[in-house]
Structure 1
Amino acid sequence: MTMTDLQTLGKQAKASAHQLGLMETTKKNELLHKMADALEQRSADILKANELDLENTQVREVMKDRLRLTPERIAAMADGMRQVAQLPDPIGNVDKMWKNEDGLLIGQQRVPLGVIGIIYESRPNVTTDAASLCFKSGNAVILRGGKEAFHSNQQLVQILQDVLVAEQVVPHAIQFVEDTSHETAKGLMQLTDYLDVLIPRGGAGLIRRVKQTATVPVIETGTGNNHVYVDRDAQLEMAIPIIINAKVQRPSVCNAMETLVIHRQVAAAFLPKIEAALVEKQVEIHADEQAMAYLKTATLATEEDWSTEYLDYILAIKVVDTLEDAIVHINKYNTKHSEAIITDNYAASQTFLKEVDAAAVYVNASTRFTDGYVFGFGAEIGISTQKIHARGPMGLHELTSIKYIIYGEGQIRH
């Protein structure tokens, strides 16, 4: 795909974004329901394309779970689109309004960002999540998925586009880059005349490459080197299922736990119990010297372990002397995604909430809940780990900007 081809996508997206930004909420919702219905009606086509991706991919088995589609997952994708349709439309909302000394009535009104580019890896559900959120928030979107899910993504976008064509509205509101080369990705990152923002969603390598290469504004969605800290005042029996859920329910996703931090005072009592539960789930343990004293199956952790997002059945374990030590360790190595403390000590929980630097911080719950669907956003465009514009799961509101609307009665400035 040439730069001219990308510019064509950009021109089409820009024209569609203008139309989409003016579309009534009821019409957007109607189209989202029709797209959701089409996904279920053509699930056989989607599964066939997905099977082709699964046959061709060379990724390890645990990563195939991110790629694999089933009838149940397709139904969930369709349900996600319907949930987005049910959410309040932010476009046109006036967040606040005030009158200044000159008698001008000034308001902040929600408007679409415009044209959004999304570069992502492996997970086909990102295609429908991103498309539905962008569509509902009045943004045209150009999607560029990874080669592992190429056929799945291509089929999904074709189905969504077919609905728009049949309805004779904004056919280029959802577009797909049918070239997975790095050169084309670089071209998209530099499509400054047409893209208003670029959102990368994937591993550390992709995020780093986009940050270094893009000339369009970027909203960084982060990798997840996440921690669970077991405090000295934790209910240990409660901690075990939280840790197992955070680590093994879906180890290949960004809200999974990668490092377990344990207060020294509970290490002797807790480590043998959690080791037994982890070994049962076939989790490989890398532990520091203090933790090794209480473990039978672990290997000694290296400095690299503390900063690694495994995305696999591997866990690092660190023993600390104090809550403060735990917070220092977490803030040094985390990716500012999701962190959790297990404790019955209210003061400890509040200190952790206040001092840990992350987009989502939990008390007595699994990090796996960091998800736009779970948070009530219908779906998410990604989980932002930066602090400018958006942070945490990004839903409809985060895909908007503001413009100031001002009402006067003939005022002039003196």
Structure 2
Amino acid sequence: MLFKESISDIQVSEKLTNLSLVVEDGIIYNSDIENRLYITFSGTDLIISDQLAEIEKEHKIAVDKDSAEFYRRFGFIAPPFTLYKGVYVLAPYVGISLIPPFSCVTRYPEVGMNHNDKINIRHDIQEDIRNSLNKVSGSFRVLFSGGLDSSLLLAVAHEMGKIEVALNCFMSSMPEESIRAEKMCRSKNITFHKEQIYGDLTEIARMFIDLTREPVADKIALVIPAMLSKSNAKKSTTILDGQGADSLFSGLPQDKLYDLYCKTHCRYLGILLGWMPVWKKKNTTLGRKLYRVTKVLHCLKAPGPVSMFIRSLVENEASKLSAGNRVQKWVNKELHSLHDGLGDFHLVIRYFFMFRVLPSREMQKYAISQSLGYVFKLPFLEKEMINKYFYVPPSFSINERAYKYPIVSAAKKYWPGYFSSSRTSPFQVEFDTGGKSVSEFSLSYISDFK
């Protein structure tokens, strides 16, 4: 256990500070997005660990029905809840009461940059990326999709002479992505490796669950370790990834969706056509387009921005929640609270993805690889970067009809002619997990070993 102490004796000790944890007025919270810590109570003791398996060994923990339902419908479990009763994840800026009964309090990052004037954010971001990369003495193996974020990181690292190779995951339903990525690398004489992952990844799924005791929420969590293994990546080379830029700089599909929702004629269109079922098959270009259109229409008919946003997060329309599901109730309550506290709904989207969705979903993709000794560099998720840019007004990030504008303008400087928009490419790698969906495999496997 990383920490075990009687609740009545807890102080803001050096041990808690080293874990990036703060205790204020009987509330404990985490301020570091790269932390992955779990908390539970045993009698009068507070227990904190970075491994669910460690908690499971010492305490009888049971699957929580509401969490399992939420996971089936949304594909992830919203923090602070985990799959297990009485065990919570200390996601960033969610405060958990140390005084029974259990309750949560929403916290916020510190205000970093002064935003009274519109500054040259593009220049600042480039300098902050350079400063971040300079903290690593060697070169990088870059996870390179050819999208904006990885392209900007690749270009800055290349400019600094710190590139070993650009590593690309080939997606059979979107071959043009890899073709463009390879062309970009050729233009700068950057070594390019393309890996295709397919087939049955059941063993990697088992490895992930055995390691984390979590259900798989991010499919790429199974692909990344397979890619690194197949490419013979050296563990001595740091892996550079652009995770978090979409959230931090208003480049998510939900940001575009919200702006559509604010247009009365679009909402009328949703009311008129939102009855159509959301298209399920996304393994072709046409299928992805049909999915996006029907999903957007379904969201546009929502009665308010919070319900619109929640609908956008649904992954399995057929899976329903029971009345009074407490995870859903907490999410709904927190989103309304965030809207009241932050004002601009783009900031609500930014907050929820940065501090709720990423910690419980996207951060999974590093778990197996880190356990095998690989080291990742995630500049956009570093605390200094988040504190500096979190409160940048969305009007600075959404500009000239471009979302994630500071990243778009910086990437265009390095890659002229490649980025005419701020579109994001979905991750679409087809693989099997024992003939079941990833979510059903996860829940059945966890039930088997519990």
What is the TM-score of this pair, normalised by structure 1?
0.30
What is the TM-score of this pair, normalised by structure 2?
0.28
| Greater share of residues in strand | 1
The structure having more radius of gyration, on CA atoms, is 1
Greater relative contact order (CA < 8 Å, ≥ 6 in sequence)? 2
